[in-house]
Structure 1
Amino acid sequence: MGAENRITVGVDTTAIEQLAKIGVPTVRRSELVAADHFPGWVKKRFEKTFHWNSQKATSAVTRYEFTKRAMDIFFLALAAPFLVPVLAVVALLIKLEDGGPVFYRQLRYGRNGKPLWMLKFRTMVTNSEEMIKELAHLNEVEWPEFLITNDPRVTRIGKILRRTSLDELPQLLNVAKGEMSLIGPRASSVPPSAYNEAHLSRLDVMPGIAGPGHIWRRSEVFERKCELDIAYVKYRCTTLDLYMLVQTVLAAVLKPKGN
């Protein structure tokens, strides 16, 4: 089944308590296997930098986080004149289709498990959450992921927004507020209490609009994405973030597949 025909939706927040019963799968492969997706220079840079003592390593992380935030603000300011007209046109098209809300808010969990309301352009019918129970038997992946091919809840404009990833643009407001970054592990609907201990390190950094699972394995399940996220947390650096940002932009422009 092609990734372009798959549609992933968030976990129904009204049924989040089910996670405690179902549980989250454990990471079965090492982070070294997941890190094979990263460029070779990433691991070489890590080995060179973090053979220091702990004090110097801590200082390097602090500088990285300051630079990362400055980079987010710089690129937001640079892109704003081009993105504002696009946001306005998309909002108008969504409103004209069915008169419903333009934005969709979903509860996600960010750095250190802190809850945040992640914004997206609405791509589904207004009662999509209520329809999850009716469509549960069509779910094609393991919980907590929920994926249906040609999901009937997606609107006409929603299909275009998902295919081009334009539905993600409102998350730039989350970035401006300091709740998210341009690059980082995708904020998950799964609460920290449902995580296995092996997964928790993905919450050590700020979530991003695009992350390693988004770039290299867009359609894989939660467990596979966790492996890449954990490797990213270990090897993260400004150069890697810039590399991933370029990959994200190129993929959106040249190979739009959507979620």
Structure 2
Amino acid sequence: VVDTSAWQQINDVRKVLEQTAAKKVVIDHHVSSDDLGAVEFKDTSASATGVLITELAEFLGVTLAPSQATALFCAIATDTGWFRFPNADARTYHAAGRLIEQGAQPSGLYRELYERSSLARLKLHSIILSRVTLACDNRLAFTYVCRKDFSETGAHPTDTEDLVNSGLSIDGVEASFILVEQLDKRIKASLRSRSDLSVAAIAETYGGGGHRQAAGAMLPGPIEAAQANLLNAFKSAMGVADEQSPSE
């Protein structure tokens, strides 16, 4: 199990993991943790699980193929906001440098991840960004995605990835979240912060988790109820009293 220690994130394979007689190993860097009944290779000071695997390969004397190096570079780059987040430390850059030496292609990877888009994805982003709302004295930005948005635009649920960071680009905003309605009507929440506010602590109250400045959780629907729950949690965490309706 890689890059998570939470049952909620691997619920689809939970029964298999619980019933198998095979030895289970967790490689992870998240603070939040469930008991998966596995041997843990865990370091919460690492910026990404990709760093841990890169270091393990180096320790074992394993030479990575370029495709493997590129995959690990992707894991590190995406978990550090392409090295923009505070968790991108010297250890991170050392691991990234070793991967480049073994054939990782950062420029091509960046183009594939961030400079290619379908028309459907752009239409979906337009809808999501049009719903951005401010709350908590304009220090919190949030938005949401309904199932019908995917069917109407032809976009895929993965097209919402990284959009939660858009709210943080608004002047004065310290935290943001996006809600994505799932097929089973549950609501996937992605939370971000660029202040001392721990969104991991908020996510953990809903059975989720992650990092201090990047976390996630799965909430019961409908989307309006999930939004109200999270708003109350952020108000409490940010020390904001009840306010008037959020501003769009």
Smaller-chain TM-score bracket? under 0.3
The structure that is helix-richer by fraction is 1
The structure that is strand-richer by fraction is 2
